[in-house]
Amino acid sequence: MRENLIEKNVDEFLLRPNLLDYEGECREFRWEDVGREFEGLPGGGLNIAHEAIDRHANGALSDKTALLWLGQNGERKTYTFGEMKKESAKFANVLKRLHLAKGERVFTLSSRIPQLYASAMGIFKNQNVLCPLFSQFGPEPILQRMLKGDAKLLLTTKKLYEKKVRPILHELLDLRYVLLLDADEDENEKTLSYSRLMSEASENFEILPTDPEDMSILHFTSGTTGTPKGVAHVHKAIYAHYMTGKYALDLHPQDNYWCTADPGWVTGTSYGIITPWLHGVTNIVDEAEFDAARWYKTLQDEKVSVWYTAPTAIRRLMRIDSEPTLEYDLSNLRLIQSVGEPLNPEAVLWGEKKLKLPIHDNWWQTETGAIMIANLISQTIRPGSMGRPLPGIVAGIVHVDDEGVLSEVTEPNKEGDLALKVGWPSMFRGYLHNEEKYEKSFVDGWYLSGDLAYKDEAGYFWFVGRADDIIKTSGHMVGPFEVESALMEHPAVAEAGVIGKPDQIIGQLVKAFVSLKTNYEPSDELRRELIGFARKKLGVAVAPKEIEFQENLPKTRSGKIMRRLLKAREMGLPEGDTSTLEE
C-alpha cells in the first residue's frame, strides 16, 4: 500500500498553507498559545457561542456571511455573524424564560435548517447542553437517546413531532417542553410555538461566566460496533477545534467551507458548525441529502474552497464514471478532507485523477471531539494512511498485556492499539451513565481508541481495523481494511465489507461482501476473477476465500459499513442495536 506517494508543491497552491513546517510546529506547539486566539467572556470564562459568533459580530466581521444555506427545494439564504448573534441571543432568552437551568439538556431534531444552527449557539449561550439528533431516526432511537440523555426540551418541526415524537411522548416524563419550529401557535402549555417565543424574545443576551470545563455537547456515537454511547464534551474543546481548523482544514478568512456531515454526528457539529465560525469563515450548509450532480454543482456555484466529507460519499461519486472537472468548474477547490471510515488508497488516487486534488484522510472519534491524525495540505500523502498526529496531539501504538500493563510499540510497522496521550482539550469527559467504561478506556495516561493501527518509519499512522473486526485466520491476523482496499482496486468493485466467518479448521475464514459499480453484474466468473485478483495482491492466506455480491452493504446512517451486521447475518445471529442502520 506504500506505492504512489503524493508529493506536494506548495508553490503551486492557491493559498499559502497555515502549516508548512510540520516537525517544527509539533516541537513548538503549546495549547496555552491557542487560548490566546480567544477573547474570553467579559465576566470571565470561555463559551463556544461567544468565540464562534459574538466576538465576530461585535467586530469587523459583523456583516460577513456566517451561514450560507442551501434548501432542499433550491432556496439559497445567507446569514451574517451579526444576524446569527441576534438569533442565537433570542433563542437563549427563550430557554431562559422557560427556566432551563445551566447544564440541562436541549435536544434538537430537525433537518439541516438555519434555525438549527442559530439555536445551537443559543443553547451554548444559556449554558445548556446541546444534544443533536439525526432527523432520520425513528421513534425508538429518539426515545432511547432522550431518556439516556435526560432531555428537558426538544426543538423540532411539526412533521417530525407528529411522526416520531408524539408516539413516544408519554414515556418522556422528564421532558418539559417541545418547541415546534414551524407552528404559529402553541398546541398546549408544553408544546409551544418557536416562532411565537422568538418574536417575543430580546435580541440581547449576556452570557454568564462559563467554565471551560462546563459541559457543552452530548453526542451519541455511530453505533458501528454496538449500542451507541453517549459522549460528553466541554466548552474547552474549542481549543482543539480552532487548532485543527487551522492546520488540518487549513482555514483562511476567504474560504468558502463546506462540511457535508449532519450535526446528528460529531463531525457535523465540531466541523459543520463550530470550527469554521471560530475562524470567522463562511460555513455552507446543504439541507439535501447526497446527490452527485447537486454536490458537484454546489462545489462549483458556491466556489467551495475547503470541502470536508466522508469515504461513503467519495465512493458514491466513484461509482459514477464521470469527468467532473470537464462538466463543472471546480477551480476554487483547494483542499478535500475525509473522515469516518478508512479511506481506500484507490479513493485518494481517484481524487487526484478526477477532481485534480487528492483526498486527505484524517482520523478521530466522537470521543476525541476533534481531528487527531491527519494528512495535511502541505505534506506528502501516503495513500491509505490516515496521516500524522496534529501538533499538540501525541498518538502512539501501544500494547496492553493480560495484567493490564501498557507498553508502547516503538518498532515501526508493528500493529497494536491506537492510543492518545491524555491532555488534549477536546477529549470526552465521560460516557453517559457508564463511568466504568470510561475509566477502562484509560491506561497509564493513554486513552485507548479501540482501533488497531501501525505507525510507519516516517511517523504516518495506518488503520488496520477496529479491534472487534480483526480476523484471525490460520494463525494470521487480518485487518478487513487491507482486504477491502485490494478489492476496491478492481474496476468492478464499488464497495467491499470483509468479515471473519467462523471455520472449524482455520479459525476464521476471510469472507468479502461486495457491491458492484453501475455497469457490472454479479456472476460466478466475476467472483472467481475477484478472488484471483485479491490473491495476486494479498497472497492466498489473506485474500478472501468467499465472496458474496450484495447490491448495497449495510451502513450506519453516517455512512459506515457495519461489519458486525454482515457477520451476524452470515451466522444467523441476532442483529443487535440497529438504531443507526441506514434504511
Residue 560 touches ligand ATP, criterion: CB under 6 A: yes
What DSSP line would sit under 45-62, residue for residue? B--HHIIIIIHHHTTTTT
Does residue 463 belong to the site contacting ligand ATP (CB under 6 A)? Answer: yes
Q: Contact with ligand ATP (CB under 6 A): which of 124, 205, 257, 363?
A: 363
Closer CB to ligand ATP, 122 or 480, in the complex: 480
482 binds ligand ATP, rule: CB under 6 A: no
Binding mask of the shown chain, residues 226 to 265, with x at each position contacting ligand ATP by CB under 6 A: x-xx------------------------------------
**233 vs 252, beta carbon nearer ligand ATP:** 233
Angle between helices 311-319 and 292-301 (to 10 degrees): 110
How many residues touch Mg ion under the rule CB under 5 A: the total is: 1
Maximum distance among all Cα pairs of the chain, rounded to whole angstroms: 72
Q: Is 341 in the site for ligand ATP (CB under 6 A)?
A: yes
Q: In this structure, are residues 383 and 345 in contact, taking their beta carbons and an 8 Å threshold?
A: yes
- Binding ligand ATP (rule: CB under 6 A), the pick from 361, 415, 417, 482 is 361
Nearest to 178 by CA among 148, 152, 199: 152
Task: Name the segment binding ligand ATP (CB under 6 A); options: 189-197, 287-295, 339-347, 401-409.
Answer: 339-347
Helix (H, G, I), strand (E, B) or coil at 255: coil
Cα 533 to chain center, whole Å? 33
Rule CB under 6 A: is residue 141 a binding residue for ligand ATP? no
Q: What's the half-sphere exposure (Cβ side, CA atoms, 13 Å) at 156?
A: 24
Could you identify the residue written with the cell 461486495?
514
Instruction: Give, rounded to a whole angstrom, the gap between the first and last alpha carbons of the chain.
Output: 33
**CA–CA separation, 433 and 574 (whole Å):** 25
How many residues bind ligand ATP, per CB under 6 A? 24
* Window of 11-19, 208-216, 361-369, 389-397 that interacts with ligand ATP by CB under 6 A: 361-369
- Residue 340 found at the interface with ligand ATP (CB under 6 A): yes
Could you give the 3-state DSSP secondary structure of residue 450? Answer: strand
Record the cell numbers describing residue 507, joined without a space: 479459525
Residue of 93, 222, 305, 312 that binds ligand ATP (CB under 6 A): 222
Piece of the chain touching ligand ATP by CB under 6 A; list 301-309, 357-365, 390-398, 543-551:
357-365
Contact flag: residue 135 with ligand ATP (CB under 6 A): no
The site partner of 449 among Mg ion, ligand ATP, none (C-beta below 5 to 8 Å per kind) is: ligand ATP
* 170 contact partners, CB below 8 Å, separation of at least 6: none
Q: Which is nearer to Mg ion, 222 or 515 (CB)?
A: 222
Find the DSSP H helices in 434-575.
435-440, 480-488, 524-538, 563-571
Site for Mg ion, residues 185 to 244, rule: CB under 5 A: 221
Q: Among 111, 562, 495, 122, which residue's Cα sits nearest to residue 317? A: 495
466 binds ligand ATP (CB under 6 A): yes
Strands 306-309 and 335-338: parallel
Among 263, 342, 425, 559, binds ligand ATP (CB under 6 A): 342
For residue 577 the three cell numbers come to: 442495536
Q: Of the candidates 451, 482, 484, 495, which one interacts with ligand ATP according to CB under 6 A?
A: 451
> Among 151, 154, 238, 339, which residue interacts with ligand ATP (rule: CB under 6 A)?
339
Q: Choose, by CB under 6 A, the member of 119, 224, 298, 426 that binds ligand ATP.
A: 224
Report yes or no: 363 and 461 within 8 Å, Cβ to Cβ: yes
Sign of CA dihedral 381, 247, 269, 148: positive
- Which residue lies nearer to ligand ATP by CB, 191 or 449? 449
Bridge pairing between strands 360-363 and 335-338: parallel
Only segment of 42-50, 125-133, 220-228, 432-440 that touches ligand ATP (CB under 6 A): 220-228
479 binds ligand ATP (CB under 6 A): no
Positions that interact with ligand ATP (CB under 6 A): 221-226, 228-229, 339-343, 361-363, 365-366, 386, 449, 451, 463, 466, 560
Positions that interact with Mg ion (CB under 5 A): 221
